[in-house]
Amino acid sequence: MNNNIKPIIMPKWGMEMSEGEINTWHVKVGDHIIVETDLVDVETAKIINTVAASDSGVVRAIVAEPGETHIVGALLGVIAPAEVSDEEIKTFINSFSGSNQVDVLEEAPSMTDIVNEPAVAAEQQPVKTDILSAGEDDSHVSASPVARRLAADYGVNLNNISGTGRHGRVSKRDLEAAVTAAGGRLIGTNNAVPSREKQGDDSHVKATPVARRLAEEMGINLLECRVSGNRGRVCKADVEAVAAMRNKVPTQTAVSAAPTSSSSTPIAISGMRKTIAERLQASKQTAPHFRVQIDAELDNLLATRKQINDANTEVKISVNDFIIKACASALTRVPAVNVQFDGERVTQFAEADISVAVAIKDGLITPIIPGANRKGLEVISHEMRDLATRAKLNRLKPEEFQGGSFCISNLGMYGIKQFDAIINPPQSAILAVGSGERRAVVKNGELAVATVVSLTLSSDHRIIDGAVAAEFMSVLKGFLEQPATMLI
């Protein structure tokens, strides 16, 4: 096969990514491109990101069209020098689609790079320079801007390089010499053996033999699995839990050929929509939802909020910020609700990592305030503002929305009085918050007016008993009605 022909393949961004939808091509067949040229936007369940070229040449073929969904490692297009014949390109495409999936994965990452995903990109670097990566902060080391950037790409600590440039500055040449000497491969060259790390080598993961075989058959990476078996091993149930989360629908589902009429429009399902659909369905089917509802009076909280906001120009604490803080405090008090359950094992957390549902264009995402129990309202407010801003821009990092020990969904701003939410697995409870409104209440036998919010907790009844859920809600109500008690 002609070594100058390079495939553009569906990248793997993070452990959970199994497929991606082609969003927009930035290049067309015949375009001359260079390294780092933006090639194609790919939408996954979580994120839209851009695949950038790691080779220069001419775009010779594009085989994946916008709107199509392809599995990780699938061929999307071909880059080759102009002098390579069309025949050779065709042969390459045919042989590529026929090749074994694992081979493709191993080969793939050296061909593509990821923009704006430094962590993943580093993981994919085609060099092996562990001995050069250790060391203290190297920001003070004198190095040319080019050398510093390459060092970051190679994962090299500049403390380990002796500079021979002007004024002893580390030059690009110094860096490349050191990388080569350490047995690494230079970026932009493609002569090395594919690294197994790129696809997330799971051979070192402790797993039961049954789990390992099952994972292999189902194409599941053991790194993706929870570890709940004995002796710290991934067990069969762990693999099955991942499988249950996965999409079982064939990837290239055409929208069913419903009779087209002027009154209906078929809408292609986005990656995010697919994930939402799967997760909610799985949650509703596996977790028996048990709901408890309580009303809390917010007048004290609103007065406190006004006091804080009036006294500080630099913050704008929202009612939702108070609810996050109150939930975190209540979870600390009733830790039995601060749990994840994967069907086999319950994990209880010391920290309240609170997911907050944020509506974004065409879907929803749940960024996390980690350790909200340790944070004050100001910090929570600033973090939430930042997370909500970046959620709308599709700029959250996976770790910022994956995980969480409890979830809050607030539809109060739409004037919704009360609703039930569906648990976001593997979490075991979710709080649905309605709008705070002036209602008639009875106080000491008298009719009075108070600002009241209706709160509904949906919990997984397999592991959270009714009394536990009720206790959590009553503690939460206490914190909301007497916000000063959260200070303790």
Partner 1 sequence: MQQYDLMVVGGGPGGYVAAIRAAQLGFKTALVEKQHLGGVCLNWGCIPTKSLLRGADIAHMLKEAEHFGFTFDSLSFDINKLVKHSRSVANKLSGGVAYLMQKNNIKVIDGTATVADKCRLDVNHNGTVTQYRSNHIILATGARARNLPNIEIDGDLIWGAREAMTPTTLPGSLLVIGGGAIGVEFASLYNDLGTDVTLIEAAERITPAEDAEISSLAQKSFSQRGIKVLTSTLVQAVEGAGDQAMAIINGPDGERRQKFDQVILAVGIQGNIEGLGLENLGVKTENSFLVADPYGKTNLVGLYAIGDVSGAPWLAHKASHEAIVCVEKIAGIETAEPLNKNRVPGCTYCRPQIASVGLTEAQAKGAGHNIRVGRSSLNSNGKALAINEAEGLVKTVFDANSGELLGAHMIGPEVTEQIQGFGIAQQLAATEHDLAHTIYAHPTVSESMHESVLDSLGVAIHQ
Nearer Cβ to partner 1, position 98 or 415?
A: 415
CB 444 within 8 A of CB 474: no
Roughly what angle, to the nearest 10 degrees, separates helices 319-333 and 299-311?
120
Nearer Cβ to partner 1, position 118 or 219?
A: 118
Tokens coding 67 = 């709107």
CB of 313 to partner 1, least distance (A): 5
Nearer Cβ to partner 1, position 45 or 79?
A: 45
Give the count of beta carbons closer than 10 Å to the beta carbon of residue 119.
Answer: 12
Nearer Cβ to partner 1, position 37 or 171?
A: 171
CB 379 within 8 A of CB 33: no
CB of 172 to partner 1, least distance (A): 12
Q: Which amino acid is at 197?
A: E
CB 17 within 8 A of CB 65: no
CB of 388 to partner 1, least distance (A): 7
Q: Which residues are catalytic?
A: 461
Q: Which amino acid is at 386?
A: D
CB 176 within 8 A of CB 156: no
Report whether the peptide linkage leading into residue 483 is cis, meaning its omega lies within 30 degrees of zero: no
CB 428 within 8 A of CB 459: yes
CB of 166 to partner 1, least distance (A): 5
CA distances from 268 to 243, 278, 454 (A): 24, 16, 36
CB 413 within 8 A of CB 435: yes
What's the CA gap between 35 and 118, in Å, rounded? 16
Nearer Cβ to partner 1, position 103 or 386?
A: 386
- Name the residues that contact partner 1, by CB under 8 A: 144-145, 166-167, 169, 309, 313-316, 385-386, 388-390, 392-395
DSSP characters over 433-463: E---EEEEEEETTEEEEEEEEEEEEEEETTT
Nearer Cβ to partner 1, position 118 or 266?
A: 118
CB of 76 to partner 1, least distance (A): 23
CB of 361 to partner 1, least distance (A): 8
Tokens coding 414 = 């739409």
Give the count of beta carbons closer than 10 Å to the beta carbon of residue 257.
Answer: 7
66 CB-near residues (< 8 Å, 6+ apart): 22, 23, 24, 25
